[in-house]
Amino acid sequence: FDYSRGFRVTYEYLMDEVEIWIQGQKRLGYELVYLSDDTQVRSDLKQFTVRSAGVLPEVSQQVVFSYYAPEDAYVGGVFHERDLLKSVQFHQGGVVSYEYTPATHLLDNGGQVLNHRPHYPVFVVSSVIRSDFTGRNDVTNYSYSDGHFFFDGPFDRSFAGFGQVMVTDPLGQQSKYFFHQGGGFAGSSLGEHVSDDWYLLGRMYRSEQYDSSQNLLQRQVISWDLVSLGPQRFFLQATDLVSTLFGSGGPRSSASST
């Protein structure tokens, strides 16, 4: 998952053959079963199944991938971009579902817009719902703020992701992640590299973990260094990591360098 960019969940599914790797091993004997009248038209392909063939012939094992169709473009007050992954259904009965939100629709607790940039729609995963065969639903929510568009001339420009990403797990525990953007959100007081240049785009420099009562449990600050490989080419590595644990006995810090 690419937290800094909202990790758009997409799959390329118009193909003649499929290769499936499980725990590092290539599995042969799989086939695609298309649930559509015309498999050559991308917009008509709403769903397909990956089914094992010849591995365990007496057991029906299949994974069903469903995608948002054009008629799903506006559902429940939220726009959805077509062809984004909607759900994955496993043969054991579990289902993983995905909800998306345009970044410009995200608000903070006070109703303020979290992202004024980029200047075009960016759909991000707002929630992931994991359901089992008993009907239990575990929901993980995602929030993104301080979206930025990096611009250094007409030939050097790109979406620079989000400065802050917050993940809330099914137990109400929160994790916050902070990313370099080559500008954008000014996080020097939080540990961001003073020279937040383009080569640091998408690199995480800070993370925080909270319990369900919003008590800070752990904080990590990462420093990055670079080695020049020539004009406009750099090798990046995390050189310092300072981790602090918080508890009843007070904060305890540890540091490591490479």
Where do the structural domains in the chain lie, given as residue ranges? 3-257
pLDDT value at residue 54: 44
207-222 pLDDT tens trace:
999 999 999 999 999 9
pLDDT value at residue 39: 36
In three-state form (DSSP H/G/I as H, E/B as E, the rest C), the secondary structure along 141-189 is EEEEEEEEEEECCCCCEEEEEEEEEEEECCCCCEEEEEECCCCCCCCHH
Q: Which of 84, 43, 38, 34 is nearest to 64 (CA)?
A: 34
Tokens of 194: 């003073």
110-118 — which CB contacts under 8 Å span 24+ positions?
114/143, 114/144, 114/145, 114/146, 114/147, 115/144, 115/145, 115/146, 115/147, 115/162, 116/147, 117/147, 117/148, 117/149, 118/147, 118/148, 118/149, 118/159
Per-residue pLDDT tens, the chain, 258 aa: give them: 455 555 544 444 444 444 444 444 444 444 444 444 433 333 334 455 555 444 444 444 577 878 777 666 555 555 566 678 888 888 778 899 998 888 888 888 888 888 877 777 788 999 999 998 777 899 999 999 988 887 777 777 788 889 899 999 999 999 999 998 877 666 666 766 666 677 788 888 899 999 999 999 999 999 888 777 888 777 888 888 889 999 876 777 777 776
pLDDT value at residue 165: 94
